[in-house]
Structure 1
């Protein structure tokens, strides 16, 4: 029997979604009679160590995966469970995403003690978020809101809602769902109001490209519709060279054999928001078409200014 060592961050959410993934892989192994066991190895990433600075100022994409990917390359672990939205477009040579399981709810959500929706928030309300993307789209909808940086794991952020006097905080719904905290969600924010991050709600199971035995197992865990949607979104991200320093959002879904996607680029203040939608059968082509359309509208200039 081979023991697969699974690397993960050590936050409560990361450990929860890793254990949930291992439980599903174990069930697949038992059903197929495959000789695999699993154990977890916790790894601290740079993003976990730097909590007092906004993501946009400390490097963005890759902050929560680089140390884990190095452990994969060094053979210390066999695979890693990441939140897809943390994954840079380009993977290190020798690594692949072996499985993208079925996606959780991709939407953002509002957690508030005083309002039942973004529209109901009081004039000048303080809203906490770690995301420039959320902040820009909120400012576009409600220029009166005071958007403030809020870092930390989701349990920390929910605690800060009351401790630091926020009117509301915005989070990814998927994390609250996985933690069993649906009852804490005040309202879901539809993609028409706030487009989610690329890959939000999806997981990535990363492994070495030459580990054929493990790749064969992970293929049984892959969800084709989720992979197509995420491929379109990540193609869009790659062409715009996006990270956490710039407000970029995208959401794709497979509807009747067509990949439908909307992409967004915004200035951090929310004064300029560009959106474009497209659908087609090839996810790479869909992602590229939306990115090129936005570049044609001036997205590259907005992104260049945001990076400066």
Structure 2
């Protein structure tokens, strides 16, 4: 006898963090729609970003953030899964035709955390220590305050990176507090970092739910999970990033706060070596307008020559 079709099908990467996020979404869908969790299928999909982890190269060098979502998007477009669950900071600014981000769960802690088994803080790292990261944003922000440090390639899931620290591959690194919290590993953070100094990646800490543009049923299912304030903040940050993506490939940070109906967005772009940084801040009620305004101001401050200089880097 053929098994009944699942209530809906979730597509996710196979890392421990991705699976934790997919299970959280399954739990929320189950509660919102009164169906057993076992009736909601989770399909693990290998992505190019996952397969490139062992190479330890920066995502910028091999195609950008979309490497973590491409195969899940393709599975949705082919009808194999209905909902893509993503870490929103990994979602490309321009989505494939036929796919859109329909909802965001309430945002977790946006901060990065300093991680080390040798030093209690970034300031206390010994001179010329090795700092492990393959994020151009994190590397630039670290070099801005500790230009003496050596940046070494450092990729992998949370467990892999923690093991690399224990193995001495690097003396320190950064991980997102959101991921540590979702894996119940927050106690491993040596010290959370001030987000005004180490501005998070745009959309950091938010789980995004993607669906097919023509799939009204899935859009309605995830709509009940959407957190209004998070949606507005991520929309503003992605709008800022969309403006910047058209002009440069420099490290980008974003930080959004809210008071009543007013959003305040801070944006930052840096040179790869951290020696130069530009920041902009604006407030408003429309997230798209706000994000575009901050992005355009950053471009105005930096100037086309400076942007072209850093855009030339791979």
TM-score using structure 1 length: 0.94
Cα 1:227–1:146 change in 2 (3 A) is: same
The question of 1:199 aligning with 2:197 is answered: no
Q: 1:35 to 1:137 in 2, by over 3 A?
A: closer
Aligned to 1:58: 62
Aligned to 1:45, which of 29, 44, 47? Answer: 47
Residues 105 and 173 in structure 1, CA contact (< 8 A), matched pair in contact too = yes
**Which stretches in structure 1 are left out of the alignment for 5+ residues?**
none
Task: Tell me which of 127, 132, 152 is aligned to 2:136.
Answer: 132
Partner of 2:274: 270
Q: Which residue of 2 aligns with 1:85?
A: 89
Q: Secondary structure at the residue paired with 2:84?
A: strand
Match for residue 174 of structure 1 among 160, 174, 178: 178
How do residues 135-154 of structure 1 correspond to structure 2 at under 5 angstroms? Answer: 135-154=139-158
2 CA distance for matches of 1:256 and 1:115?
A: 40
Asked whether the equivalents of residues 89 and 203 of structure 2 are also in contact (C-alpha less than 8 Å), the reply is yes
Q: 1:265 Cα deviation (Å)?
A: 0.8
Deviations 1:21-78 (A, max 9, x none): 1111111112xx7999311111111111112122221111201011110111111111
Aligned residue in 1 for 2:241: 237
Aligned to 2:11: 7
User: Does the 8 Å contact 2:128/2:148 carry over to 1?
Assistant: yes
> What is the number of residues matched between the two proteins?
306
Alignment of 1:283-298 (within 5 A): 283-298=287-302
Q: Aligned pair in 2 of structure 1 residues 181, 50: CA closer, same or farther (>3 Å)?
A: same
1:212 Cα deviation (Å)?
Answer: 1.6
Residue equivalent to 2:193: 189
- Cα pair 2:85 2:209 within 8 Å, conserved: yes
Deviation string 1:118-164 (CA, Å, 9 cap, x unpaired) is: 22222222111121101101111111111211011111111001113
TM-score for the superposition, normalised by structure 2: 0.92
Structure 1 residue 304: deviation in Å? 2.8
Distance 1:34 1:283, change over 3 A: farther
SS for the counterpart of 2:299 is helix
Q: What secondary structure does 1:63 align onto?
A: helix
2:123 paired with 1:119: yes
**Alignment counterpart, residue 308 of structure 2, candidates 299, 304, 307:** 304
Q: Which runs of 5+ in 2 are unaligned?
A: none
Q: How many Å separate the matches in 1 of 2:37 and 2:17?
A: 28
What's the C-alpha RMSD, in Å, of the aligned pairs? Answer: 2.0
Match of 2:33 in 1: 29
Residue in structure 2 matching 1:20, options 17, 21, 24: 24
